[in-house]
Amino acid sequence: MVTAAIGGERPVRDIVPGDHLCLTFADDAEQRPVVTEYLSAGLSRGERVLCFVDRTTPGIVLDWLASTGVDTGAALLGGRLRLVPAADSYLASGRFDAAAMVGTVRREVDASLAEGFSGLRICGEMSWAVRESVGTAELARYEREVDAVFAGRPVSAVCQYDARLFGPDQLEVLDGCHRGSVEPPPLRGHDSLRLVPAGRAGRRRLRVIGTVDDRTHDHFVAALDAVLHRPGDVVLDLSALDFIDVAGLRALANAAARLGGHRRMRLAHPAPVLCEVVRLLGWDRTPGLVLLPEGDVA
Amino acid sequence: MTGAADARGLIHQGLLYGADEQFLAATVPFCRDGLERGDAVLAVTTATNADLLRDGLGADAGHVRFVDADTWYDTPGRTLAAYHRYVDERADGDGRVRVIGEPVWHGRDDLAVAEWTRYESVINLAFADSPAWIVCPYDTRVVPERIVDDARRTHPDLVVGSLAETSPAYLAPALLTTGARRAPAVAGEGGAVLRFGSDLAAVRRFVADTADSLGLSPTRTEHAVVAVNEVATNVLDHGGGSGWIALRRTGGRIVCDVADDGPAPLADWFAGYLPPAPGQRLGVGLWVVRQLCDLVEIQPRDTGTTVSLHFDV
């Protein structure tokens, strides 16, 4: 049996038995593809899929699965797919009890394997913890203890943390209680321009790879639009940006100006010529735009 | 000149002087009058004239900002942008922003003289609505006569002593086009030509490789790549959609011609000299191009436009 490696980021397709991974998502675009691929792959392998749902309701999860061709009705009837609300799992006793929940997960694993399933995939959304004011230490204790339940068994788990609800410091701690992170899906790209999320948990950066010119301009603008609503600062790592034209710089300045409040667009590792052109245009004075030639994103 | 101070909009005057006394007779009252009114006063001139003016102003000299002309008159695009920044930062009150701006003519070849002459003309457009009052001294003892003649055509008013009079030879910038001296295309060594369509990556590779082989420094080559990409983007978005690029070395310059296939002229000869308004899309690229290059010539043709970018080696 392939054993789960410790640490690092990996795409959903590389999740192996024993894995207990953290998914930090900032919007549907980051959550949906991961959850859908993880669950539907389990179903197609004949494994049982257990989903602890919360803000993302059972109806939404079923729609996601159905859109990939899964016969959700049959899976539910056959007991291969189970959707359990937080109130009946994490909060079954009326409040969160880490030890009790570890016991619940252990019983689910034992029962599924006893029933003859070749494996079990567990996907839990943790948003309720913010609503119930459960402390980071309590959640971290749960995540560390539940990890042992999966080790060495044909079972894996993905815990979903919403970066719009949890702060970056919290996410850093919680992400560290897992065997690794699920790699977020890249944004819609182009042959010569890719925008790839990098960095862990709540300290996500977007690596801009390739060229922004006449040909890729619309893709670039669409990608910026897609990340603007995400919580916190928008951090773009430009170290692999080969070229950007004036229209692309205008798109960056416009996006920064739209952030509002105390949010910033931080450009890490901008090329010297990029900084020079931004200054010639006076766009270095755009509210919300921060150039970080040294790449310091702190 | 007192009356002019109360008018709104740009005042752009040539000061043709043949003696130090004539220079001082105009500039000292110009500065004093401005300081009394609370105007910002900037003097960009030669070291010699700066000393003369300081002596003439006495204690008032401390309130005038002096800048050396050789530093200030760098390239037309950068100088114009610097003036814009200077005026914008000071133009919010009721007063005027007063500038003595003595352009540098020594050491300029015909091509540079022609473009600096266009620069003097475009000042009339670029600052048309600004409260700038710019007096441009021309030392007739050392500046060639043809340049002095051009000053009469590029300045709406001429200062004589402490009085201003209309310059009868003045031509509006749009009319100067025909009179401008274009440098003839000089065949250079080691040049290369590229026809281009929608593939700007190929354009950037061509410019980077050719400029490097012609001896342009890595930093200036990066500037050339950005500049040519902007001009070529204009060709794709607003011009004929295709064109050609010729890169060659002529003496101490790398010259890059970007020509589009028409059908109509793409830009006025002064495009890119006027600062883009907030939110403006067209013309922003050329504003940058003017500042990245050492000289830019825009030559509208009957079909299409040729934009020549010059980089000093």
Q: How far is CA B235 from the centre of its chain?
A: 23
Instruction: Tell me, yes or no, whether B141 and B202 share the same domain.
Output: no
The number of domains in chain A is: 2
Q: What is the tens place of the pLDDT at every residue in B140-171? A: 999 999 999 999 999 999 997 778 999 999 98
pLDDT band of B181, cuts 50, 70, 90: very low
Q: Rounded to a whole number, what is the distance in Å from the CA of A278 to chain B's nearest CA? A: 9
Domain residue limits at A217: 193-292
Domain end call among B127, B152, B179: B179
Statement to judge: residues A175 and A221 lie in one domain: no
User: Within this chain, do residues B41 and B156 fall inside the same structural domain, yes or no?
Assistant: yes
- Residue A95: band (very low, low, confident or very high) from pLDDT cuts 50, 70, 90: very high
In a domain, B73, yes or no: yes
Share of chain B above pLDDT 90, in %: 63
Q: Which of A249, A239, A296 is nearest to A269 (CA)?
A: A239
Instruction: Provide the residue range defining the domain that includes B59.
Output: 2-179
Mutation target to probe the B interface, by most B beta carbons within 10 A, among A212, A218, A244, A245 is A245
Total number of domains constituting chain B:
2
B200 vs A214, A273, A282: nearest CB: A214
> What whole-number distance in Å separates Cα of residue A101 and Cα of residue B256?
71
Tell me, yes or no, whether A188 lies in a domain. no
Residues A174 and A261 in one domain: no
DSSP chain A: -PPPPPSSEE-GGG--TT-EEEEEESSHHHHHHHHHHHHHHHHHTT-EEEEEESSS-HHHHHHHHHTTT--HHHHHHTTSEEEEEGGGTTTTTSS--HHHHHHHHHHHHHHHHHTT-S-EEEEEE-THHHHTT--HHHHHHHHHHHHHHHTTSSEEEEEEEETTTS-HHHHHHHHTTSSEEEPPPPPS-BTTEEEEEESSTT--EEEEEEEESTTTHHHHHHHHHHHHTSSS-EEEE-TTEEEE-HHHHHHHHHHHHHH-TT--EEEES--HHHHHHHHHTTGGGSTTEEEETT----
Given this model, what pLDDT does residue B4 score? 53
Inform me whether the pLDDT recorded for B5 exceeds 70: no
Confidence of residue A46 (pLDDT cuts 50, 70, 90): very high
| Final residue of a structural domain among A182, A217, A235 | A182
Residue A278, domain CATH: 3.30.750.24
Distance from CA of B249 to the nearest CA of A (A): 23
Question: Are B285 and A214 inside 8 Å of each other by CB?
Answer: no
Q: In CATH, what number is assigned to the domain containing residue B300?
A: 3.30.565.10
Asked, for residue A297, whether it belongs to a domain, the answer is no
Q: Within 13 Å, how many C-alpha atoms sit on residue A212's CB side?
A: 25
Query: Where a domain ends, among A182, A217, A233?
Result: A182
Which residues of chain B lie closer than 8 angstroms to A257, CB-CB? none
Query: How many CB atoms lie under 10 A from the CB of residue B278?
Result: 5
Residues of A numbered 232-291 whose beta carbons fall under 8 angstroms of chain B's beta carbons: which are they? Answer: 243, 245-247, 250, 271-273, 277, 280-282
Q: Which two tokens stand for residue A254?
A: 């416009």
Residue range B46-85, pLDDT digits in tens: 999 999 999 999 999 999 999 999 999 999 999 999 998 8
Res B180: pLDDT: 45
Tell me whether residue B184 is in a domain. no
Residue B246 CA to residue B257 CA, distance in Å, equals: 5
The better pLDDT of the pair B283, A57 is held by A57
Same domain (yes/no): A24, A156: yes
- 3-class SS string, A127-192: CHHHHCCCCHHHHHHHHHHHHHHHCCCCEEEEEEEECCCCCHHHHHHHHCCCCEEECCCCCCCECC
A95, burial (CB in 10 Å: exposed 0-12, middle 13-18, buried 19+): exposed
| CB spacing of B198 vs A214 below 8 angstroms | yes
- B30 and B150 inside one domain: yes
